[in-house]
Structure 1
């Protein structure tokens, strides 16, 4: 195991009754990374987080932190403090006492408790609020108290279970920026659970996408968004247009594919080991397409505008193409005349990602 690997999961399985919730999870997380577990409700992401924390016992597999096997250790001995969605603050305790709780359980000396709690509160910008109670704080301040309670333990990993979901949209964005800044400043290793794609894309060094208890793909935000390995990942992250195609020629790093009703072809760069005659899927993001721009790229298709939607910074068009395929195109030049009727949509070959549908 690399010295940079802090958390090592090997063949992790968890079963509840007849439900195989975690299926053969293999994952390594390096020190200082902000890693997000992303997926819909019921996909296993929270179960894995709680298994790492020690709240669930594995049915099979290993959890190692810094090379040490954690399977048989209780939560309070794992060094994996967890920030819950509801924050789990004690309402009868002050901010100071809430943050000091874990140190008090360990019976740390009073002078050390004072120093570490005040340092943790300073890191999350709550100095001066030590004597307030949770009901006297805003949602964002409560979230930061929960974060300080985790930071004060000087633990190698901090686990966050959808900690921003109870905040309104504006405050959620502000706290998201603060949380990422704290993580970077302190070099923390953070595992963050969410079903919010935007949160995952904007905060993470690495995103782990879950599907029915298994890891579908693990990669950087750019890899997950622009180079999804499966249709599931492409469809789950953002909005995507899919086009059925057939491989007509294959070179070492390129593939020429045929798409649509008119036998049109486009040559793409790809590392996928596709073969001639293979059915594949082309993935094109709405922002990568252009309407009625002849020089906008090699990929082209005629389509009919069905409707449009004004979204502030862009106009979103809904179109029908070959074989009734549905298209979504985002136009950011809002000052232009709206498109109507039959149009041509185009994209550059470098904006198209090829996904294998078999093998």
Structure 2
């Protein structure tokens, strides 16, 4: 039986000059999962991807792939084909020859090469285009060729470095669905680098959020979005409302918190807190409701300042009596348009407690 953990990173560090780019990275990735490295430019996500591929040598720590330590192995011996942002296709080669390049280097039999290349072409929906050259293809087609070149190697891990960033919005969405479909159909292990939150949340089994060379959180898209562990993650992923609060009581699972002059509220607490500690509550705009008849444990009065139509929802911008700004998403479009003074409510399970300034 194959080991479930395919990639194991142990205390990985990388330094460029005075810049500590990767800080004590510890991460285990299971076979057959789609993992996204997410973060802003310069956070270390691409450096880690290249370190896994072998293009960079880590300064400290160990890289294990499929039960073998690969620190000293060159890229071509690691079995980690990489799809680059620029696609890196050979302009003088046909689509077929581009895809077959890695197999040619390994001196595979011609019969095997033809069979595997045709299979990869079918997987990325490019059958019949094998005789074309890169300049004769659209950006989306070139991206598919790059993906096919990785697929044809039958490698345990495929690495993708922002492969969709050069495509327009509609094509990005189409290729995003195709990539996820290929990964699920073939049971591939994919590590995908992006700064696009929508890509990360919509494609991944797990998301790794990077902050200044370190991992701030590793979890499912739902956990990353609704249960951020740090202020950085809550602020970086999507839009949220922060509420400054004080811990009045706490146990292993819950904390009773107060905020402003409102009635204390009991919320889930997945981080260790102390009595009297100043914390933040994070609540997403879609988790708040305006003038809802059922109310909720969280309740505050505010005044609508403006609104914005966003297709499936209306986004409201409000201000409470203390001058704090709020963002609320309402989905009852066409039924009610809110103006003036309103009541914002939420159930307590929508309030997520995090530590302040934990970045």
Provide TM-score, normalisation by structure 1: 0.96
Counterpart for residue 240 of structure 1:
240
Give 3-state SS (helix, strand or coil) of 1:323's partner: coil
Note the alpha carbon deviations across 1:260-307, whole angstroms, 9 max, x for none. 2x2421112333332322211111000011111241311011112111
Counterpart for residue 274 of structure 2:
275
Counterpart for residue 166 of structure 2:
166
Could you tell me how far apart the structure 2 residues matched to 1:166 and 1:76 are? 26
Is residue 262–residue 300 contact of structure 2 (8 Å, CA) maintained in 1? no
Give unmatched runs, 5+ long, in structure 2. none
1:44 CA drift (Å): 0.3
Give 3-state SS (helix, strand or coil) of 2:264's partner: strand
Is residue 35–residue 191 contact of structure 2 (8 Å, CA) maintained in 1? yes
Could you tell me how far apart the structure 2 residues matched to 1:252 and 1:31 are? 33
Note the alpha carbon deviations across 1:148-173, whole angstroms, 9 max, x for none. 10011111000000000111111100
Is residue 229–residue 271 contact of structure 2 (8 Å, CA) maintained in 1? no
Counterpart for residue 191 of structure 2:
191
Structure 1 stretch 262-271 or stretch 72-81: which is displaced more?
262-271
1:338 CA drift (Å): 2.3
1:358 CA drift (Å): 7.3
Aligned 1:307-318 pairs, distance under 5 A? 307-318=306-317
Provide TM-score, normalisation by structure 2: 0.96
Could you tell me how far apart the structure 2 residues matched to 1:27 and 1:64 are? 10
Q: Does 1:214 align with 2:210?
A: no
Note the alpha carbon deviations across 1:192-224, whole angstroms, 9 max, x for none. 000000000000000000000000000000000
Could you tell me how far apart the structure 1 residues matched to 2:46 and 2:233 are? 18
Counterpart for residue 68 of structure 2:
68
Counterpart for residue 56 of structure 1:
56
Counterpart for residue 266 of structure 1:
265
Counterpart for residue 129 of structure 2:
129
Counterpart for residue 330 of structure 1:
329
Counterpart for residue 24 of structure 1:
24
Give 3-state SS (helix, strand or coil) of 1:243's partner: strand
Judged with a 3 Å threshold, the aligned counterparts in structure 2 of structure 1 residues 322 and 25 are, in CA distance, closer, same or farther, namely farther
1:337 CA drift (Å): 3.7
Counterpart for residue 353 of structure 1:
352
Could you tell me how far apart the structure 2 residues matched to 1:271 and 1:94 are? 54
Give unmatched runs, 5+ long, in structure 1. none
Give 3-state SS (helix, strand or coil) of 1:145's partner: helix
Give the superposed CA RMSD: 1.4
